[in-house]
Chains A and B, each alone.
Chain A
Amino acid sequence: MASGLLQRADSLVQEATGEEYYRARATTGTSAAEGMSEGDFAAEFTMDPFEAIRTLLVFTDFGLVSKINATTWLFPLYGKARGSLRHRIYEVLLHFKEPDTILTTALAEYRKYGNEERLVVAASLAADIGADALPALRVLARSRRPECEIFVSVIANLRGIRMQDRLEVLAEFASNPGSDVRYSLLESLRALPSDHIIPLLTALSTDEDEEIASEARAWLDSLEI
């Protein structure tokens, strides 16, 4: 599923925007016959967001709405939510546990509208999901996209994965064209044991960004290798 992650993000960017995105496919027919449509959910969320989320949970529990669809509908609403509603949306997205969908939706929204908070919440959810998020994060790392920046520390600290897998994914960031991604890699290496990070530090020590290269060289010198 993760292999189609970036293509899915690109196709989402091409879709309708804002309110149109949530309402265009709503019909009374889909609501009655198939459970709940995006439009049904959006309309109920506008009136009573907590009740709409409760209903969405019931529908997903009974298999009337897929967790992938539910995640796609709910994720964009996090940004405008405030106070306890924000926590509720987060908890439910975590309950759905769909890391591919979280990443594709976040990337699509960020590319279209910006605001790093969209990536932050996706990164936070991936971190809380843990090892099951690794395949999606690996695809993202291989994409060499600038949005990887916020996910570097997530991979450096992800629970339940082997050090070898962690280092392989982190190595992708050393050749990312974005210097902010490579800077984040340098900072994130501080979380790892020094005997594992020498190859990555060596790669960063010749970085075209002199700030990154000089910090990496100083760090290598301090390790006295």
Chain B
Amino acid sequence: MALIRVMASESDHRKWLRENSSAAELMKHFFGSDGAPISVYRVTIDIEETKAVAAHYLTLAAIRQSIKMVSVLRIETRDYEDMGITVHETPGATEVAAIDAVHRDLVGDQVTFEAMTQRLLDAIRRGEDRVRLVWEVQLKHQVQEFLTLSIDEMNDRARLACRKLLGSSG
């Protein structure tokens, strides 16, 4: 299991892979410096990860308009467990019930989040697979699968977002 943080911009994965990226800058951009809870999903690193990313993508539908590659940051327990950062179950906002059920908040402060970011940066530079790119074809497949869910499993707003994304993605 890992916590995943979906990154919003097309170029966000590049920020983690630059030689001159600093933990302080990355922490501020991705997690913020005000100690606000960080929205993540607790998933297994397999299809469940892809489903969570696709469900989160529905919340980005307005800015992305169509299905495009999106990048994800994988946070493992060892990145934060001895730092005082805690994980809390909170409701997600994707409106895909199974994914909202695995939504979590990471709660810490500026110092602990910067330390966690430094560990993530070190792990990436060592070669660990912490930044995943989820491609159009994979997102499209999952969005199509969502449309087979019942109304109890996904509400109409999310269903509309699925149809809009698929309609503009061919």
Contact = CB atoms under 8 A, between A and B. Distances in A.
Interface of A: 18, 79-80, 82-84, 86-87, 112-120, 123-125, 127-128, 149-150, 153-154, 157, 179-180, 183-184, 187-188, 190-191
Nearest to B103: A82
B39 interface: yes
Main secondary structure of the interface of A (DSSP, over half): helix
A74 to B, nearest CB: 16
10 contacts: A82-B91, A82-B105, A86-B93, A87-B157, A112-B34, A117-B8, A120-B8, A123-B62, A124-B62, A187-B68
Nearest to A154: B63
Interface of B: 7-12, 14-15, 27-34, 36-37, 39, 60, 62-66, 68, 90-93, 100, 103, 105, 157
Contacts of B8: 116-117, 119-120, 150
Contacts of A179: 11
Given A113-B33, A116-B30, A187 B62 contact: no
A83 B12 CA distance: 25
Contacts of A188: 10
A134 to B, nearest CB: 15
Contacts of B65: 127, 153, 157, 191
A153 B10 contact: yes
A20 to B, nearest CB: 13
A141 B10 CA distance: 17
A114 B10 contact: no
A183 B8 CA distance: 14
Given A83-B100, A184-B9, 16 more contacts: A79-B32, A80-B37, A83-B90, A86-B93, A87-B93, A113-B36, A115-B28, A116-B12, A118-B32, A123-B62, A127-B65, A149-B11, A153-B63, A183-B10, A184-B10, A188-B10
Given A114-B29, A115-B36, A116-B30, A82 B11 contact: no
Contacts of B90: 82-83
Contacts of A190: 68
